[in-house]
Structure 1
Amino acid sequence: NEKVAKALEGAVIVNKGTFGSSELADMLYFETIGQDEVEIELIGLCTDICVVSNAILIKTKLPEAKVTVDPSCCAGVTPESHNAALQTMKMCQCVVE
């Protein structure tokens, strides 16, 4: 699809072999050194596995960054586990819109 290809121009793709990616957290850390305000938005599948894992890794590496999760752009294994993951991220100082 041409729209998808255009949206991905210049994108950095991180191939992760597990739920969370320390490579992604490290990359974001090094790319944002010296920036006063850092905002990162996460979306994806599965809220209760990959999204929550990466949110926690990123908040650990960048504790002052504003990490936002858009629940309407995520899906969990079940509605209950999706909501539990959103609550977990809120408790770890992520913003859930």
Structure 2
Amino acid sequence: MFWFADHDRPYPFTTSGQISCVYYPDFGIEVYFEPAGYIDESSIGTPLNKAAAKSLKKDGMTPNVPYSIKKGADLSEAIEAGLKACGEQRE
């Protein structure tokens, strides 16, 4: 996805990467940001929504990728993109 072509708000991250999602019945759809170079099974992305943060806390996990959200960034479009992608995957 090309952020600047598809979104109105500024890119909220300090590096390139991808937005991913996971669906678990306990918390719903979890949305994460995974910086380029840290996209593999051993990486724990930066949680972008409450469901992701709650899930990590419940499992005693913390992100192990470099923190990459710009200070004061609006994450609403990034979260929306993750929720949309996950919804499309589930269909």
**TM-score normalised to the size of structure 1?**
0.25
Instruction: Tell which structure's C-alpha radius of gyration is larger.
Output: 1
Q: Return the structure number with greater helix share.
A: 1
**TM-score normalised to the size of structure 2?**
0.26
